[in-house]
Each structure stands twice: as structure tokens, then as C-alpha cells.
Structure 1
Amino acid sequence: VRTARAKGLSFRGVVLGHALRNAMIPVVTILALNFGALFSGALITETMFGYLGMGKLMFDSILANDFNLALVGLLFATLLVLVGNFVADIAYAAIDPRISFKSLADK
């Protein structure tokens, strides 16, 4: 950042081109991890406030001993976490050009 500023780049160019790009990788990581926590908190929120949704459906299915439906809800939440992590991995490559998805067999 210091070198880019010393070369004459504007403050905006330095922030957008250098600082923000490097700072976005941890932000994307935290957002991807919180994406899964968002859906795990739905069970508590929907049960406490009586909202209808996936969390309430899973809670009611456990109380009714419908473990097949609870398992489907758990698999759906797991799928959402995996999709969130996959989107984060794709975002890494879009944000930082040093990160690529080349196959190890190509090397």
C-alpha cells in the first residue's frame, strides 16, 4: 500500500486496488461461516416467537418423533452450509487473482 501510494496512485485507487482486495478474504471467510450459523439459529428464533419455518418444522418433528423429517431438515441445513462454503471458495478466486482452481494433475 505504501509503495503504491509512493508511486502516485490516488488514495481511492490504493484502497480499492490493494487494501480492500487483501482485506476481503477474511471477511468472505467469516460471512461463509456465519451463513451456516444463520440457519442454525433459526430453530431457536422460530420456536421462541412462533414463526413458521424450517427451524419450527424441525423442532415439531423431533417432538412428534418424526426423525425422518428431522433428518431431512438436518441434511438441508448441511447442504446450505456446503453451498455457502462453495460460494466463498469461488469468491476467493474472484477477489484475489493469486488464488486459482487449477488441477494438481496439470502441474
Structure 2
Amino acid sequence: KGVPDRTILWRHGFRNALIPVVTIMALDFGALFSGALIVETMFAYLGMGKTIYDAVMGNDYNLALVGLLLATTITLAANIAADIAYGLIDPRIRLTGGSQA
């Protein structure tokens, strides 16, 4: 067709290669918050992981539940954002619940 290699790479290859990258980034958001507990406890950083750990050790379960609920909400929001990004990256992916017949 006479299209430059750069155009083929960005229009066809980049979009298809971006889908696994978005998936891994969304999944890593959950790992980011689960790893915060270990890192913050080992290095005595003040943060959400250390706060949840101190709340559990101090029998303050309400604070621990709120912290875990916040981490869960952020993880779910990252996964929803990834699902929306799939539809923007690849038009073949539909966000509607139609049948695939």
C-alpha cells in the first residue's frame, strides 16, 4: 500500500501490544497495596500498610476494615479502568453485553 513502516507499527502493532500492558498494570495495583504492608513494616515507614498492621495488632478492627475496604476499592477501580481502556485501545472489544452468536 505504500504506508511507512512507522505507521504500520504504531497503528497496528502498538494497539495489540498495549492490551497485555494494561492488564499487567491493573493487576499490579493490587500487588502494590498488598506489598505496602510488608515494606512499611520492615522499614518503619508510615503509610496505609503500617496503619492496617498497627490497627490489627492493637485490636482496632474498625480501622483495619476501613483500610482494607479502601485498598479493595482502589484495586477494583483500577480493574474497571483497565476494562474501559480495553474498549478504547481495541475497537473489536465491546463494552456491551450482547450475544456473540
Please, what TM-score do these two structures have when normalized by structure 1? 0.87
> Gaps (5+ residues) in structure 2?
none
Alignment partner, residue 46 of structure 2: 52
Q: Within 2, Cα distance between the matches of 1:26 and 1:64? A: 41
Partner of 1:17: 11
Q: Percent identity?
A: 61
Q: Where does residue 85 of structure 1 map in the other structure?
A: 79
Taking the aligned partners of 1:104 and 1:21, their CA distance within structure 2 comes to 24
The question of 1:96 aligning with 2:95 is answered no
Distance 2:65 2:98 in 1: 36
Residue ranges of structure 1 left out of the alignment (5+ in a row): 1-6
> Would you identify which runs of 4 or more consecutive aligned residues in structure 1 move more than 6 Å?
none
Number of matched residues?
Answer: 100
Aligned mate of 1:70, from 64, 67, 87: 64
Q: What residue identity is the alignment partner of 1:101?
A: L
Q: Which moved more, 1:33-42 or 1:95-104?
A: 95-104
Give the equivalent residue in structure 1 for 2:21: 27
- In 2: Cα distance, 1:42 partner to 1:10 partner: 46
Q: TM-score scaled to structure 2, two decimals?
A: 0.91
RMSD: 1.6
Distance apart, 1:68 and its partner CA: 1.3
